[in-house]
Amino acid sequence: MKTNRRKFIATAATMAAGVAVAKALPLTTMTNKYHIVHHALFWLKNPGSIEDRDKLVAGVKSLGKIAQIKELHVGIVASTEKRDVVDNSWAVSEVMFFASLEDQAAYQSHPIHQQFIKDHSHLWEKVVVYDAIDA
């Protein structure tokens, strides 16, 4: 599980601060307040290459440095039951949470994201993105 560094620091600071902070915290600090889910799935040019998959995983994890990404979950195909509706033809998944559409837009044009695309786009054949907002 990739959790970005800012969140870790925020968590550590909260723990250190003890009871005063714990009592003052609004409930939402421990529930999810990030209303935009951005899910990108990558299909590799070399679908069987674990090396390419792992390079792309490392690249996606590097995106965690972008401040607008509140949560980042980098995944590979899970071995769940094979069913008609389950698409397991992809190789790498990134699920990101953003606080707003503006933050998602800022992420798209962020230099770290642009650099990621430059350095890794040769690895993928196809990308599919789903952007959802809380219903």
Residues that bind a second copy (CB under 8 A): 1-3, 7-8, 11-12, 14-15, 18-19, 21-23, 25, 27, 29-41, 57, 60-61, 71, 73-81, 83, 85-88, 90, 92-93, 95, 101, 104-105, 108, 127-135
In the complex, the smallest distance separating the C-beta of residue 65 from a second copy, rounded to whole angstroms, is 17
d(CA 72, CA 25): 23
The rounded Cα 1 to chain-centroid distance in angstroms is 10
Closest of 120, 70, 62, 71 to residue 91, by C-alpha? 120
Which residue lies nearer to a second copy by CB, 112 or 127?
A: 127
In the complex, the smallest distance separating the C-beta of residue 30 from a second copy, rounded to whole angstroms, is 5
Which residue lies nearer to a second copy by CB, 67 or 105?
A: 105
In the complex, the smallest distance separating the C-beta of residue 112 from a second copy, rounded to whole angstroms, is 18
Hunting for tokens 């786009």 — which residue is that?
121
| Tokens representing residue 103 in the block | 């933050």
- Contact (CB, 8 A) for 34 and 68: no
